Amino acid sequence: MSIPDLIVDSKLEAVVHPDWVRHTYARRGQSGKDWKIDVSETWVRKSRLGSGGFGTVWLEECQQPALESSPHVRAVKEIRKDPRQKVDYSRELLVIAKFSLPMYVPCFVQSYGWFETTESIYIAMEYMPHGDLKKHLARPLPEDEARTIGMQVLEGLRYMHENGFVHRDLKPQNILVVSPGPDWLVQISDFGISQRLAEEATVTMGQGTMGFMAPEVLGFVKRGSSPFAADIWSLGALLFFVLTNTIFLKDPHRVGEFAQGIEAAADLDNEKLGSIGVSREALNAYAAFSGLPPTIGRPRTMPQGIAGLRYLVRLRTKSPPLSEKGGKVPQSKTRPWRPQRRFRWTHQRHGVRQCQ
């Protein structure tokens, strides 16, 4: 199997020690006598930021970066190689390399490259000192703030789905916070089980996080489900948690009943939304998130989902163009859809102040 160019080009030359890593780069010289100069930088491991089923994330620091564009701190995800399992590590490397391209900023956590040893694969990424969204949800957020978060995540999903990728593990822990509320700036992270799909592909069952897994992933919808539908469900479950600080349809049996057309299975959750005074638009949005339910012919595809989720981007965006059949209009007939934000997203990246 050939390795995509994006993966090959983003690999870093590295000498790995348990406590430090040294990278070497080639830099242009000043004349023909020294036309190429090798420069190096050493990263020292400072602490463990977190760990999970798909790896451990470390905080590393560099006092003197070799390149002007290099940061002084970074997060490094270590994925242990398991010879007993046939794991396609290139899948995550491809996704994070692709969505680190400038055209996808600021929707995704950016990667600085990857390196490996015989025991592990390491992915160097930008460090987010504010951590993940879950750490900021000690109490429910106001609806306006939830809408701000949802709009940004939805844009990231649109990019992924248009390129044939599904995330498959969307949850608060995989949304990193660049700038906390009330004007939230968030980015999608952790592509450990994301996948690029062919047009005829279907949902892979059993992969994801309980509480945010769609009926398709749990095996309650057997046929005719879009492979991208699970991400739309997870976005709805994520925003439900943001608004209520509780899990949407926490009991898998209720998810199964809901998928079979028993709308009453979600009555308690609807009452929860009503009790906190969310708008009618928010309640209607959940009809698009969930399909209410998929058995009655409202699939959670991205174009149809966005059409029902204008609530998220009210007063900030024009709706993405849709054809009469619900699909995308060819690009030659329309301008690309971009959110019209009422505030500027400004932050530091690679030492350069950026505004979107």
DSSP 8-state code for residue 119 = S
Amino acid at 336: P
Active-site residue flag, 169: yes
> Is 61 exposed, middle or buried (CB count within 10 Å of its CB: 0-12, 13-18, 19+)?
middle
Q: Which of 99, 167, 129 is nearest to 347 (CA)?
A: 129
* CB proximity list for 332: less than 8 A, separation 6 or greater: none
Which residue intervals of 186-266 are DSSP H helices? 215-218, 229-244, 252-259
> Please, are residues 282 and 273 in contact by the beta-carbon 8 Å criterion?
yes
Marked catalytic residue, from 169, 190, 231, 269: 169
> Please, are residues 40 and 25 in contact by the beta-carbon 8 Å criterion?
yes
Residue 209, phi-psi category: left (phi > 0), alpha (psi -120 to 50), beta (remainder)? beta
Q: Which residues are catalytic?
A: 169
